[in-house]
Amino acid sequence: MKLIPIKILLFILTVTIISCEDRIYPTLKDANPTIVIDAWINNKPVEQVIQITESRPYFDNNLAVGVIGALVTITDNNGITYSFNDTGNGSYKWTPGVGESFGEIGNDYTLEVDYDGKLYQAFSSMNRVPVVDSISFRFEEKDFVFPDSYFAEFWSRDLVGSGDTYWIKTYKNGNYLNKPAEINIAFDAGFSEGGNIDGLIFIPPIRDAINPIDEDNNDNFLSPYSDGDSIYVEIHSIPKDAFLFLNEMALQIDRPGGFGELFATPLSNVPTNIIAPADEEALGFFTVSAVNGNGRKLDIREIPK
Amino acid sequence: MNLHNLIPFLLSIALFPLQIQGQDKHTINGYIRDASNGESLIGATIYVQELESGAVTNFYGFYSITLEEGIYHIEFRYLGYNTESKTIELNNNERIDIELITEGQQLDEIIVLGEPEDDNVSSVQMSSNKLDIQSIQKLPSFLGEVDVLKSIQTLPGVSAVGEGTTGFNVRGGSVGQNLVLLDEAPVYNSSHLLGFFSVFNPDAVKDIQLIKGGIPARYGGRIASILDIRMKEGNSKEFSGQGGVGSIFSRLALEAPFKKDKASFIIAGRRSYADIFAKVFTDVLADGAALNFYDLTLKTNYNIDPKNRVFLSGYFGRDNFKFDAQQGFNWGNTTSTLRWNHLFNDRLFSNFTLFYSNYDYELAFGEDDLDKFTWNSEINTFNFKPEFNYFINPQNEVTFGADILFFNFEPANAVGVSNGEVRDISIDEKNALETGFYLSNDQKINNKISLQYGLRWSNFEFLGDSKYYEFDNPEPGTRRSVINTMESENFEVIQNYSNLEPRFAFKYQLTSNSSLKTSYNRTVQYIHLISNTTASNPLDIWIPSTNNVKPQMGHQVALGYFKNFGSENAYESSVEAYYRKTYNQIDYIDGADILINEFIEGDLLAGQGRAYGLEFYLKKNEGPLTGWLSYTIARTELQIDGINNGNWYPTRYDQAHNMKIASFYETPGRWSFSANFSFISGTPATFPTSRFEIQGYAIPYNQENSRNNLRIDSFHRLDISATLKGKQFRKDKKRKNEDYWIFSIYNVYGRRNPFSIYFSQADQRPFPGKVIETRATRVSIIGTLLPSISYNFKF
């Protein structure tokens, strides 16, 4: 169960403007590079990409160096193998044929990465996904956080039967909303397994978390959507291990900052489902998703004020 | 034989060997009170010159001393009060109630602590500090608000996770391991505004005692410390009041006799008023938004006759945050305590306590009734606590009693409504019964050696009806899954634990003003505060020990040297060393889900802890300049399978060096000044070594997989304050009222003390295909100097 954090934190920050932050440059311990396999595959009829890179010092602000020369395949439980081609920069690609897409709901998949004589493996399954029925907009008058704003909401019902896990990805004008605070995951129609909210329309904090939180140059919040903006919402079915990974990743990278740090959890390593050979180490995650999406363009004349 | 006779009878049999034969003996007993308002004086000394020894009053100001027939010169002493002497020809039992008169005109001129003059050296209790409200009020405080809990952080062995955090850590214990008692009733969350202010209204507090080690057998249920807060009794002589206007709260306390010297009450309230101002200037709080916190404290007492007194006290406090009319959260404590002091006979004092304590919080989100989420959680405690003090003779004082607690936990009553469809996701209530029986004796072997030895037997029953679970046993550090669900009947005992808790303390008087003390205690804790964030927060819940969660246990040994010096014990000093070993300490798996989780036990880890340290304390009691210095060098570590590769790691509040100086300077005129300074060496934090990207997010990675592997910078801060008393005379007539202004500055040199360092992506929206910038940010909770003014009055 996580809280609807944005409004609470903003509220608290406005009342406790006495906290402050400084960027610092601490010296960190040295570490060896570790292989990182970033393999999130889905059934959209587009090119599927697996990135293989190496970890690097935390403050290294250069692009990650790709691992080249690996043999990368995904095999399903019927023995069908998908080969991913080395493009020479750490990206390994599989391109579907016309009218084709990756995999089938209900199948299990095995990823194999053969690199430098070592075999890395991971397992995943393609789970069922609900339909995004529609997207709606609403107008809200200026409050102490936002100006007069248009907020979007998506409408979809969790599939009946508990244990479905999803990653909801939103695109504004074709650009994926990629801030850590915008990671939107669901366990059934709610936040967590303990919550046990099954078979409902996704609860409002999840429905609402498709709105970009951006500020202008003067740190004033902007209306998430404006006239003419388009929005596209995708639900990716993910296995439970991937849900736990994303949940943990969000805890690590979506830092509250400021006064919110009082209630932060300690830094810890995110899990991985990549199985490395004995005495080797690997990072990353392999997931296969089925995707359903829907979009809409905001025409403010259609939205009641 | 009725109950009234039975207890003394059984006792006299049980304790017969202690009763030395000899000529006729008689008992002197009574209460010692403050002459100005009738307040009981706790820990006042009754000194018998002929014996070169005596007794002290208990928590209710009662004393009893049994002597052979003869003539005695007896002094009744309490620091800050004129000593009263009496010569008594003892040939009968005597009741002597004493009212002591304060030295000087105003109590608040005395800033030394209200203890017998050499109590720190002569009493067998070690590892304990008392602060009376007058000294607490003199300390410079955050935004000028006098704070009982922050004041104890100036004492050795006491630390906190950081500024603005709830609670305190004692000798390496966690926040949830302190028993905070307000007139005997436990307070589960002692802070307002997420930790910036404590819930105790200084106008209603008489004194506080912190016990860090050598915990007497009468206390149980927590393993680190006891903070015993005693509320003031209402003025039994005349109507009086006090109050103030500060930057956060305005306060008012009224007290008066119902019946002079017989019955009185005090009622004290506080409320924050930032929201009231805000409404004038902005419309932020329009449409139902709110931000406020308040508390109300009430106590009445009635002296029925010389053998019976009753007290009824209560506390109610709440913090209220509302984003609009429907959404927000609030939390608060409620306690009520009924006590009856009864004298069975001249030597057997008893107190019967009944209390109820509740902590609850409530959240509500959602735009309307079709889409909303409401959630509340509470812990209720009901207690019955009979306690007896048997003053056998000047050498032995026996304390025994029972402590019966019934707990009712409601971890979550939660309902989600999505588009008109309702889901109740509440978690079962849990019930538990904790009982403790104890017997302890304070024994003076001779003028040099005193002992306190006791035994507490505690028993805990986790009761139905709730579901309970069996979990699997995966690799340590990962979530355990339920493999079996079991049902239980109403009040069926699902799991039972019982423990013996021996307590022992020893004092050897080296000289008239120095002593050596040692103590050992074993303590057990059956309910646990579940908090996996840096600082505890109002949403943290308490859970009982269950078939899966074992009780926490602790051993502590301490050794100390105590010495007073200077004329009239102007200086007190002590050095204490301690070692604590704890078991079944709770930590959490990574990504633990601790709120609204029926299977929370599967996310908890258990391990062992150790803490050791050396505490130095020097206090100056006399002269215009007074104050104290405390310095602690310490280490606190945990070892938990599944964290830090199973190796020992320092806790978040591990502070190698912790130094505090509190000082007060009185001028002959209307001004007085105080300052406090803190220096704390850097606390540990977990830093990453590396980064990697998954799906366009930059993730920190710590290759050693270690916890708390580096330290943040040290912390230091100076606060000062000046008090200006109002004129005592107006038009040559002495004013009846008193008033004073307090001007204070918190964090005088505006240091940006680090609270934590976090690692994150830069704020800007990452641009696909471009590198994501990673950075480290230092957070200071209060990064600037904060001046404040408050006005206070008494009438």
**B687:A29 CB<8 A:** yes
In a domain, B412, yes or no: yes
Structural domain for B96, as ranges: 20-104
Buried b (16+ CB within 10 A) or exposed e, A13-32: eeebebbeeeeeeeebbebe
Q: Identify the CA nearest to B188 among candidates B536, B599, B466, B460.
A: B536
**Interacting residues of B512 by C-beta distance below 8 A, sequence separation 6+:** none
A20 contacts B784? CB cut-off 8 A? yes
What is the C-alpha separation between A212 and A189, in angstroms, rounded?
21
CATH of the domain at B54: 2.60.40.1120
pLDDT reported for residue A193: 81
Averaged pLDDT, B230-245: 92
Collect all residues of chain A within an 8 Å Cβ-Cβ radius of residue B685: 267
Closest Cβ opposite residue A179 in set B363, B752, B765 = B765
Mutating which of B273, B275, B327, B593 best tests the A interface, going by the most A Cβ atoms within 10 A?
A: B593
| Integer Cα distance of A278 and B368 in angstroms | 55
Average of pLDDT values for B4-9? 58
Question: Is residue A281 a part of any domain in this protein?
Answer: no
Tokens for B713, please give them.
């910078």
Q: pLDDT tens, B632-682?
A: 999 999 999 999 999 999 999 999 999 999 999 999 999 999 999 999 999
Top mean pLDDT of B257-261, B291-295, B500-504 is at B500-504
Taking CA–CA distances from B692, the nearest residue in chain A reads A55
Q: Residue B11 has what pLDDT?
A: 56
Instruction: Please give the residue that has the higher pLDDT: either B162 or B158.
Output: B158
> Is it the case that residue B494 has pLDDT exceeding 90?
yes
Check CB contact under 8 Å for B773 and A36: no
Do B455 and B496 have their domain in common?
Answer: yes
C-alpha to C-alpha distance for B652 and B683, rounded to whole angstroms: 6
Could you tell me if A98 and A234 lie in one domain?
A: no
Strand pairing category for B729-730 and B396-418: unpaired
**CB pair distance less than 8 Å for B694 and A285:** yes
Token pair, residue B68, equals 């052979």
* Average pLDDT score, chain B: 89
Which residues does B790 contact at the CB level (< 8 Å), separation at least 6?
Answer: B144, B145, B244, B245, B246, B247, B741, B742, B744
Using an 8 Å Cβ cutoff, are B718 and B747 in contact?
Answer: yes
**pLDDT of B23:** 60
Q: Does residue B13 have a pLDDT over 60?
A: no
Residue A259 in this model has a pLDDT that exceeds 80: no
- Res. A258: pLDDT tops 60: yes
- Report if residue B55 sits inside a domain: yes
Q: Which residue has the higher pLDDT, B59 or B16?
A: B59
What pairs with residue B717 in β-bridges? B678
Q: How confident is the model at residue B79 (pLDDT cuts 50, 70, 90)?
A: confident
Q: Are residues B96 and B138 in the same domain?
A: no
Q: Does residue B70 sit in the same domain as residue B173?
A: no
**Separation CA B188–CA B530 (nearest Å):** 12
Residue A101 confidence (pLDDT): 94
* Residues in A touching B477 (Cβ below 8 Å): none
Which residues are bridge partners to B743 per DSSP?
B722, B789
Question: Where does a domain end: A110, A125, A140?
Answer: A125
Kindly state the average pLDDT of the residues B59-80.
Answer: 89
| Mean per-residue pLDDT, A269-277 | 96
Residue B702: closest CA among B716, B692, B715? B692
Place of tokens 């200006």: B724
The residue written with tokens 């180490």 in the block is A281
Same domain? For A216 and A111 the reply is no
Q: How confident is the model at residue B285 (pLDDT cuts 50, 70, 90)?
A: low
> Using an 8 Å Cβ cutoff, are B268 and B204 in contact?
yes
Which pair of structure tokens corresponds to residue B314?
Answer: 């209560």
Residue B474 DSSP class: -
B606 has pLDDT over 70 = yes
Q: How confident is the model at residue A5 (pLDDT cuts 50, 70, 90)?
A: very low
Q: Contact, A191 vs A158, CB < 8 A?
A: no
Q: Which residue of B has its CA nearest to A248?
A: B591
Give which of B107, B33, B22, B108 is closest to B66, Cα–Cα. Answer: B22
Task: Report, as an integer, the average pLDDT of B207-226.
Answer: 95
Same structural domain, A293 and A173: yes
The closest of B601, B599, B569, B571 to B584, measured between CA atoms, is B601
Q: What is the mean pLDDT of residues A121-139?
A: 97
- Is residue B339 classed as helix, strand or coil in its secondary structure? strand
What local confidence, expressed as pLDDT, does residue B1 receive?
Answer: 45
**With an 8 Å Cβ cutoff, are B699 and A57 in contact?**
no
Q: Count contacts between A and B (CB, < 8 Å).
A: 272
Chain B contacts of A258, Cβ < 8 Å? 779
Using the predicted structure, report yes or no on whether residue B739 has a pLDDT greater than 50: yes
Residues A197 and A112 in one domain: no
Q: Does the pLDDT at position A1 exceed 60?
A: no
pLDDT tens-digit map of B682-701: 999 999 999 999 999 999 99
Residue range B16-41: average pLDDT?
76
ipTM of the complex: 0.94
- Would you call A195 and B534 a contact, using CB atoms and an 8 Å cutoff? no
Query: What is the spatial distance between Cα A118 and Cα A148, in angstroms, rounded to a whole number?
Result: 57
Secondary structure of residue B595 in the 3-state scheme: coil
Structure tokens that stand for A98 in this block = 């016309």
Half-sphere exposure of B364 (CA within 13 A, CB side): 14
Q: Do B535 and A263 touch (CB under 8 A)?
A: yes
Does residue A302 register a pLDDT over 70?
Answer: yes
Query: Does position A2 have pLDDT exceeding 50, yes or no?
Result: no
pLDDT band, very low/low/confident/very high, at B21 (cuts 50, 70, 90): very low
Contact A26 B687 (CB under 8 A): yes
pLDDT value at B274 more than 60: yes
Backbone angles phi, psi at B143, to 5 degrees: 55, 25
- Output the pLDDT for position B56: 87
Q: What's the pLDDT at B179?
A: 96
Question: Does B8 map to a domain?
Answer: no
Which pLDDT band, with edges at 50, 70 and 90, does A218 fall under? Answer: confident
Q: What is the pLDDT of residues A96-118, one digit of tens each?
A: 999 999 999 999 999 999 999 99
Is the domain of A107 the same as that of A135? no
Report if residue B396 sits inside a domain. yes
| Mean pLDDT, range B750-760, rounded to an integer | 92
- The pLDDT tens digits of the residues spanning A150-171 come to 999 999 999 999 999 999 999 9
Domain hosting residue A112, numbered range: 35-125
Q: CA B586, CA B605: separation in Å to the nearest integer?
A: 6
Q: Residue B110: its pLDDT value, please? A: 38
Q: What is the pLDDT of residue A146?
A: 81
CA distance linking residue A63 with residue A58, whole number of Å = 12
Tell me the pLDDT tens digit for each residue of A32-79. 999 999 999 999 999 999 999 999 999 998 999 999 999 999 999 999
In the predicted model, is pLDDT for residue B763 greater than 50?
Answer: yes
Comparing B259-273, B277-291, B475-489, B575-589, the range with the smallest average pLDDT is: B277-291
Q: What is the DSSP letter of A123?
A: E
Q: How many CB atoms lie within 10 A of CB B410?
A: 17
pLDDT at A245 over 60: yes
Same domain membership, residue A294 and residue A182:
yes
Chain B interface disruption, residue of A7, A261, A280, most B CBs within 10 A: A261
Distance of CA B387 to the CA centre of its chain: 21
Residue B122 lies in a domain: no
Higher-pLDDT residue of B104 and A192 is: A192
Contact A257 B777 (CB under 8 A): yes
Helices (H) and strands (E) in chain A, counts: 3, 17
Q: A245 and A156, same structural domain?
A: yes
Q: Is there a single domain that holds both residue A168 and residue A234?
A: yes
Report CA-CA distances (Å) from B243 to B179, B201, B269, B318. 29, 11, 9, 20
Q: Is residue A143 part of a domain?
A: yes
Is the pLDDT reported for residue B115 higher than 50?
Answer: no
Cβ contact B289:B278 at 8 Å:
no
Contact: A180, B688; criterion CB under 8 Å? no
Q: Please tell me the distance from the alpha carbon of residue A233 to that of residue A214, in angstroms, as a whole number.
A: 18
Burial class (CB in 10 A: 0-12, 13-18, 19+), B716: middle
By C-alpha distance, the chain B residue nearest A29 is: B689
CB–CB contact A18 B783 (8 Å): yes
Chain B: residue nearest A241 by CA? Answer: B479
For chain A, percent of residues with pLDDT exceeding 90: 75
Half-sphere exposure of A173 (CA within 13 A, CB side): 7
Token look-up 């050396």 returns B614
Quick one: how far is CA B157 from the chain centroid? 14
> What's the average model confidence in pLDDT over A172-188?
95
The CA distance from A249 to B201, in Å, is 42
Highest mean pLDDT among B13-27, B169-183, B311-325 belongs to B169-183
Query: For the ranges A160-169, B273-282, B532-541, which has the lowest average pLDDT?
Result: B273-282
Q: Examine the pLDDT at B557 and tell me if it is beyond 70.
A: yes
Mean pLDDT of all residues belonging to chain A? 90
Give yes or no for residue A7 having a pLDDT over 50. no
> Nearest CB to B416: which of A155, A203, A248?
A203
Q: How many domains does chain A have?
A: 2
Give how far the C-alpha of residue B460 lies from the chain's centroid of Cα atoms, to the nearest Å: 23
Contacts of A29 in chain B (CB under 8 A): 687, 689, 703-704, 709-710
Percent of chain B topping pLDDT 70 = 94
Number of domains in chain B: 2
Q: Calculate how close chain B gets to A101, using CA atoms only, in Å.
A: 20
A272 in any annotated domain: no
- The CATH number given to whatever domain includes residue A110 is 2.60.40
Which one of B701, B752, B767 makes the best mutation probe of the A interface by having the most chain A beta carbons within 10 Å? B701
Answer whether residue A26 is part of any domain.
no
Query: Are A186 and A230 found together in one domain?
Result: yes
Residues of B with Cβ-Cβ distance to A8 under 8 angstroms? 323, 329
- Please give the residue of chain B at the shortest CA–CA distance from A245: B591
Note whether A21 and A269 are within 8 A (CB): no
- Among B497, B587, B480, residue whose Cα is nearest residue B174: B587
Distance CA A177, CA A221 (A): 16
Which helix H or strand E contains A204, and what residues bound it? helix A204-208
The Cα–Cα gap between B599 and B480 comes to 9
Chain A, nearest residue to B752 by Cα: A20
Report if residue A18 sits inside a domain: no
- Look at residue B535 in the predicted model and tell me its pLDDT: 83
Give, as one character, the DSSP assignment of residue B642.
Answer: T
A233 within a domain of the structure (yes/no): yes
CB B208 within 8 A of CB B218: no
Cα gap B74→B85, rounded to integer Å = 6
Q: Residue range B712-725: average pLDDT? A: 94
Residue B286 is part of a domain; what is its CATH number?
Answer: 2.40.170.20
* Cα dihedral B142→B143→B144→B146 (10° resolution): -50
Q: What is the mean pLDDT of residues B706-710?
A: 91
**Residue at A276 is within a domain:** no
Cis peptide before A143 (omega within 30 of 0): no
Query: In sequence order, what are the beta bridge partners of B333?
Result: B359
